[in-house]
Each structure stands twice: as structure tokens, then as C-alpha cells.
Amino acid sequence: MAAVFRQTVAMLRGLLITGRYLFRRRVTAPYPDVKPPVAARFKGRHWLTLYADGLERCVGCELCVIVCPSQAIYVKAAENTPERQVSKGERHAEEFQINMLRCIFCGFCEEACPTGAIVLGHDYELAGYTRASMIYTKGMLTEPYPGASGRDPGREV
Amino acid sequence: MVEALLVAAVKSAVMLALVLTVCAYMTLFERRLIAGFQLRYGPNRVGPAGLLQPFADAVKLIFKESFRPAGADPLVYWIAPGIAMITALFVYAVIPLGPTLTVLGRPVPLVVADVNVGILLVLGASSIGVYGIILGGWAANSKYALMGSLRSSAQVLSYELVLGLAVASVVLSAGTLSLVEIVNAQQRVWFAVTQPVAFVLFLLGAIAETGRAPFDLPESEQELIAGYQTEYGGFNFAMFYVGEYVGIVTMGLLAANLFLGGWHGPLLPGPVWVAVKTLAFAFFAVWLRATLPRVRQDQLMALSWKVLIEIGFLNLLVTAAILAWRGG
């Protein structure tokens, strides 16, 4: 009898606890309306960053291509010429493609990059309707102006 | 004769539309509320605050393919969901939603038919409803469905008794089987106050009868996938689902009419009070689901046969004794 009483009280207390939860702040966000902030080091969509003077950081060394575990990156390097100085080194990336369907967002490319050219940004809404549209080309990856990716354009690497 | 038939037909149609709409929104109510208990938002994308979600669900289910598993019995397989839904809807013929109103100088009772054995009809129809579940689980030719329907029949049989005993003491107190008369007998004081034991028994029986948590063994997801409705999809599944949610609303209306004074209440008009009380029951059912874990099969059976039925009989005896002593 005592056990029955104890268990009944326990159930009623449980009801009170869940009842209290009804008035708590919700832990989820109504996503498309409210976008929760991502962590500072979140690894999302890539950017090819620029120096403050607008020169490209990428020198076309292809280290990112080598380190990429899912072979998502394609780089075609070209020589810089005095008439057309794209980056600060001898070479620059003439073609730079990342297949976002293959990329696993491990961030190895960012770690391997000797000039800090490729960085992983905060954008995670990367859906597309076709496979072709998921291959990001250099024009899409290069930040539109120095610092557009959120990284300091004056940083060393 | 023709006029009476016409009136009955119109009333039935209105009632049917009302009940189906209410049941559709009961799904949304439950999903939003359970989300609130779990600190989520629930479906809020379709229409303002997710208010069109039931229609989106209905459209989706209607347009899904009606398939039949290879080994299933065709006739029984197709009939079973219909039985489940029709018996669930059938009881609304006798459940009153409010007092008799006067519209354009004519009295309009807010009940399709005030039968003098109303409550018996309701209990009888909900017993037949279990045939839909049993046949559905049997015809599907699947282990999970069969297990679910076996559990369901055992459960409904056991808790029907509890429910019946709880209702019997109310009927004894009111001295009538008509639902309208039972409500009118609560003009001064609710039966929930004078019959608290029967009220608790009714709540437990109603939750178990509708197969809801913590008594949702017939469709316990972790063990039986979806119990008797495992092999159903599309509109057939929707019919089972409608039957289930109609059952919840029915039990809510019964609780309101039998124990909570029906349409009697201050200030607000009668039908509003019935709605409020029914919603209170639905809220309670969802609250229980959000709180209590599922009981085991043996616990479920023991609770009914070893505890609740005894209490029910005792309550009935005491009620009868008091009534006899008072000279009722």
C-alpha cells in the first residue's frame, strides 16, 4: 500500500515537472526564420581570400589538392607575369574548383595552405538542384572584396 | 417524416464535418503541445503557426499509393480501417455538445439523437471499434501487426470493464442512461466531485481504451513498429488514425458530459463549456504522454484485473448502498 502511494506521488511529481517545462524557454530555433549563430571556428563554405591590397593569396601550390582526403579540389596553376600580377608569389591559380558534393569539410586544405588563401567560412546552406551547380568555381570561391569572408585581410597566414 | 429525415441528415452532416475537423486539429494540438513539453516548437511552417498542417497531412495521405502486402487477406484488409473509423464516428449520434438552443424560434437540440440508452450505445460502439484493430492486424499477415492487434484486444477488453464500471456508478447516481439527462443531473454539482473514484477510473480507462501513452502497447514503436497499423499506408492508415483521434475526442466529450458537468458553467454559453472541458481532457492525455513511460504488458493486465476492476466494483457497491440508504 505504501509503495502504491509512493509511486502515485512520484507520477504526480513527474507531471508537475513536465508541466513546468511547458513554460520554459525552448531550446530549438524556428530555423529558417531564426538562424542560430555558428561557432567561431565552424567549418562551412570555402573562400579564397585576398590581401588588403586586392591581390590573391593563392599561389597555386596545389598543397590543398594533395592533402584533400576526398579529392574534392582541382587547381590549375599559371605563372604570374609583370603585366598580370594576380598573386604575390610566382604563380597563381588560374582555375580553382571545389566539388561541394565531395567535400567533407575537414578543414585540411585550410591547414595545409602556406599563404592562408583557402579558409572555411560560416555559411552552411549549400543545397543545389544539380550536381554541376555544386562544383564551385574560382569566381564563386574568391571573396568579392578583401575581408568579405570574415577573415582579417592583413593577417600573415 | 421527410422533414424529420432531412433534419437528421443535415445534423449528421454538420456533426460529421465538425468532428472530423476537430480530430484533424487534435493531431496538431497534440504535436504542438508535446513539442512544448519537450522544449521544441513542433509543426509551425504550414500556414500561420502551423494551422494548415492537418490539411497538408490529409492531402499527403490521400495521394499516397494504396498498397496491400502480398500475403494479406484482401477483403478484411480493406474493410478493417473502415470499421475502425465508422464505429468511432458512429457514437457522435448520441453525444450532446450543448443544451437545446432556440434558433429562429425553433428549439434546436445540440445532439443528433437523444437516445434513452445513449451511454450504452457509446460503450457498445467503442467495443465494436476494436474489431477494426483486430481484423486489421490479422489481415495484414505480419508479425508486428498481429502482436499489436492481440495486445490491443486484450487491453480494450480489460479496460472496457473499468470504463463500464466507472460509467455504471455515474448512471446509478443520475438514474438514467441518457447522456442529456446525465448532464442535467449535474446542474448543482459535478459527478467528478461526488464520484471521485469513478472519475479517476474513467480517466485511466479512457486513456487505456484509446491506446494512448502510457498504455500505448498496441502500437509501441520500439517493439512493434506501429502495431496493428504497421502494414497500412496512405488513406487506410489515415482512417485508422482518424478513428484513434476521434476516440480521444469521444473520451474527452464523455468525461465532460459524465463527470465535468457537460454544458453547465458560468458566463460562457454551453457549447463553449463542453469544448473547454473536452480540450482539458485532451490536454491531460497529452500531458500524461509527455510524462509517463509505457507500462509493461503484465503490469497493464495486472493493473486492470487486480486493481482497477476491484475498485470499480467496490465503488459501484458503495454508490448503490448509499443510494438505497437514501431511498433513491
Q: Mind listing the pLDDT tens digit for each residue in B267-301?
A: 777 788 888 888 999 999 999 988 988 888 888 88
Choosing among A13, A20, A26, which should be mutated to test the B contact, i.e. which has the most B CBs within 10 A? A26
Q: Mind listing the pLDDT tens digit for each residue in B219-243?
A: 777 777 777 788 888 888 888 888 8
- DSSP SS3 for B105: coil
Q: Quote the pLDDT of residue B265.
A: 75
Based on the number of CB atoms within 10 Å of its own CB, is B277 exposed (0-12), middle (13-18) or buried (19 or more)?
Answer: buried
CATH class of the domain at A46-141: alpha beta
**Residues of A in Cβ contact (< 8 Å) with B41:** 26, 28, 30
Check CB contact under 8 Å for A26 and B37. Answer: no
Check CB contact under 8 Å for A17 and B40. Answer: no
B328: confidence class by pLDDT, cuts 50, 70, 90:
low
- The stretch B170-180 carries a mean pLDDT of 83
Q: Which cell is B66 given? A: 494504396
Cα–Cα separations (whole angstroms), residue B1 to B4, B5, B8, B104, B109: 5, 6, 11, 21, 18
Choosing among A7, A16, A28, which should be mutated to test the B contact, i.e. which has the most B CBs within 10 A? A28
Domain locations in chain B? Answer: 70-327
For A142, which DSSP code? Answer: B
Mean pLDDT by 10 residues, chain A (157 residues): 85 91 89 87 91 89 93 92 86 92 93 91 90 92 88 83
Q: Give this complex's ipTM.
A: 0.72
Nearest by CB to residue A26, choosing from B33, B41, B288, is B41
Residues of B engaging A, defined by a Cβ cutoff of 8 Å: 33, 36-41, 44, 287-288, 290-292
Check CB contact under 8 Å for B290 and A18. Answer: yes
pTM for the full predicted model = 0.79
Nearest by CB to residue A21, choosing from B37, B41, B292, is B37
